Amino acid sequence: MSHCARFVLHEKGITADIEYYDLANPPEDLLELNPTGTSPTLIERELVLYDSRIIMEYLDERFPHPPLHQMDPVSRATARMVIKRIDQDWYQLLDEILYSGEKKSARAKKLLREGLLSAAPIFAARPYFMGDEFSLIDCVITPLLWRLPSIGIDVSTPNQEIVNYAERMFRRNAFKRSLSEAEKEMVDVLK
């Protein structure tokens, strides 16, 4: 998801030209560099990357301050596994909601909501998702949470664990700057 990569760009204060295009009709010059036409695509000199998770890790290594990945290999590997699970368990359901029929979408909404609610204690346990410092995991999960109201998913709980986490992330200046015009229209919570 390109929003996650844009969040990393802004969190690190990286200056970049961001161009939006119609995914159904990618520009020809982009297709020459990225035959899949997927978004995002990072072009830096001779390097072309077109997987958001690879782009995020590349940006974190290329621009090391502030670090968004833990320094030790075990913690980095653990973070990669968490991101993989978020992609497989939650983003896959989000894709079903956005791109499948009504019946399949209703099932996916129920599963996504239940999955997030089951993780409420994790949201509450530490200042960031599974950590004491902001990380790439937060850059992955926050854009997903941003989209929930626009697809009719409410993750309110008695203690508001998920909502409180989400609102803290949404207030980050980097997150606000990472929003496209279409994403700004999804939710009206940024004042």
Among the listed residues 67, 18, 11, the one whose alpha carbon sits nearest the alpha carbon of residue 42: 18
Task: Check pLDDT > 70 for residue 189.
Answer: no
In a domain, 67, yes or no: no
| Structure tokens belonging to residue 102 | 């009504």
| Alpha carbon distance 90, 116 (integer Å) | 8
- Residue 16: domain span: 2-62
In a domain, 73, yes or no: no
What pTM value is reported for the model? 0.90
Domain count, the chain: 1
- Residue showing tokens 């998920």: 162
Reported as a single tens digit per residue, the pLDDT across 112-150 is: 999 999 999 999 999 999 889 999 999 999 999 999 999
Reported as a single tens digit per residue, the pLDDT across 53-98 is: 999 999 999 999 899 988 889 989 999 999 999 999 999 999 999 9
